[in-house]
Amino acid sequence: MSKRALITGITGQDGSYLAEHLLAQGYQVWGLIRGQANPRKSRISRLASDLSFVDGDLMDQTSLVSALDLVQPDEVYNLGAISFVPMSWQQAELVTEINGAGVLRMLEAIRIVSGLSQSRADGSGRMRFYQASSSEMFGKVAETPQSETTRFHPRSPYGVAKAYGHFITRNYRESFDLYGVSGILFNHESPRRGAEFVTRKISLAVAQIKLGLQDKLALGNLDAVRDWGFAGDYVKAMHLMLQQDEPADYVIGTGVMHSVRDAVRIAFDAVDLNWQDYVYIDPALVRPAEVETLCADSGMARAALDWAPTVTFEELMRMMVEADLRQVSREVQYGDLLLAGNW
């Protein structure tokens, strides 16, 4: 019998790569879809035609119970969230509801559908739960690099909500013996990354500038440093975490730091342009409280999961620029409006 997985956040970057990975492993995969006519459903359906869908929303407890009852998954991957950090200062309450309380709703749905006492039972056959925690929880970092034992100091309402989701997952593991793990993932990108995030904003702008469709690129803090990896590598770590005998939380990253300035330079170099001719600073894009640096110590995941990243940052940025050059050229050729969300 093939395993069954339910993924929230199926229409997002990670949901798409995880669905492809699980389908390739022989899983039956369901994606939780919210909204009346979610326009991103057709995009993920095109990529993964064997995928099934079930309606639901992390804001709606009953819909999660119904979805789990219908699908009866072996594994639940909770990737659904408002993931753009600046939005969390604009709509802090909504972000807290989805990214924080939404985790609690899913954990409760698992308890309800499993039978409230079952989650204390022998452990075989119980639903396993993955929570998408974030390096944003480290915020104003207490040490470098950051590991599973580094204390949290989140710098945004997003980071605070993710810290709640992290601790409630751990608490349900300790309170109810629920098989729940959190992956503390550092920034991961791909050609499927949303156009609002800095790497994709850069790769898309570079493609448009190269093709004569854009003059300048406005950015915020060029000195911010991140540990950036490839999303296709990181979803494999999510899956591995749920295959372990004992549930535990893991840090996932490359251990290599780069600045936003590095990202810009590599991307413009890829098309033989000098970034200083095009990039300017827009103070409105600087955040009220910044996470200045992040760097992962993934020693535990490398040892216990045998996981390692396969794509360097330079390769990643070039991959994204090349993908955007192809996409923008196609859109010019066919006279479409620029649909940055198209994969």
Residues in touch with ligand G4F (CB under 6 A)? 83, 85, 134-136, 186-187, 196-198, 201, 219-221, 224, 226, 260, 285, 287, 290-291, 294
**What is the gyration radius of the CA atoms in the chain, in angstroms?**
20
Look up residue 307 and give its two tokens: 């996981």
Q: Name the binder of 115 from ligand G4F, ligand NAP, none, CB < 5-8 A by kind.
A: none
* Contact between 233 and ligand NAP per CB under 6 A: no
On the CB side of 150, CA atoms within 13 Å amount to: 25
Place of tokens 């894009």: 285
Q: Which residues pair with 279 in a beta bridge?
A: 217
Q: Name the binder of 123 from ligand G4F, ligand NAP, none, CB < 5-8 A by kind.
A: none
Q: 3-state class of 178 per DSSP?
A: coil
* Positions 50 through 69 that interact with ligand NAP (CB under 6 A): 57-59
Q: What is the dihedral of CA 96, 102, 103, 107, to 10 degrees?
A: 150
Q: Name the binder of 255 from ligand G4F, ligand NAP, none, CB < 5-8 A by kind.
A: none
* Contact between 34 and ligand NAP per CB under 6 A: yes
Query: HEC string of 282-317?
Result: CHHHCCCCCCCCCCECCHHHHHHCCCCCCCCHHHHH
Nearer to ligand G4F, 78 or 83 (CB): 83
Q: Which residues have C-beta within 8 Å of that of residue 127, sequence separation ≥ 6?
A: 68, 73, 74, 75, 76, 110, 113, 114, 179
Mask for 94-133, x = binds ligand NAP (CB under 6 A): ----x---------------------------------x-
Does 75 participate in catalysis according to the annotation? no
Q: Name the binder of 254 from ligand NAP, ligand G4F, none, CB < 5-8 A by kind.
A: none
* Contact between 187 and ligand NAP per CB under 6 A: yes
Q: CB under 6 A: which stretch of 2-10, 200-208, 312-320, 322-330 binds ligand NAP?
A: 2-10
Does 158 participate in catalysis according to the annotation? yes
Closest chain position to ligand NAP (CB): 12
Q: Please state the closest distance from residue 343 (CB atom) to ligand G4F, in A.
A: 17
Q: 3-state class of 253 per DSSP?
A: coil
Q: What is the largest CA-CA distance in the chain?
A: 64
Nearer to ligand G4F, 137 or 305 (CB): 137
Rounded-to-integer distance, Cα 330 and Cα 338, Å: 10
Q: Which of 83, 114, 134, 190 is catalytic?
A: 134
Q: Please state the closest distance from residue 219 (CB atom) to ligand G4F, in A.
A: 4
Q: Which residues have C-beta within 8 Å of that of residue 177, sequence separation ≥ 6?
A: 119, 120, 123
Rounded-to-integer distance, Cα 157 and Cα 93, Å: 9
Nearer to ligand NAP, 105 or 265 (CB): 105
* Contact between 263 and ligand NAP per CB under 6 A: no
59, exposed or middle or buried, with CB in 10 Å at 0-12, 13-18, 19+? middle
Binding site for ligand NAP (CB under 6 A): 8-15, 32, 34-35, 38, 40, 57-59, 79-83, 98, 132, 134, 185, 187-188, 194
Q: Which residues are catalytic?
A: 134, 136, 158
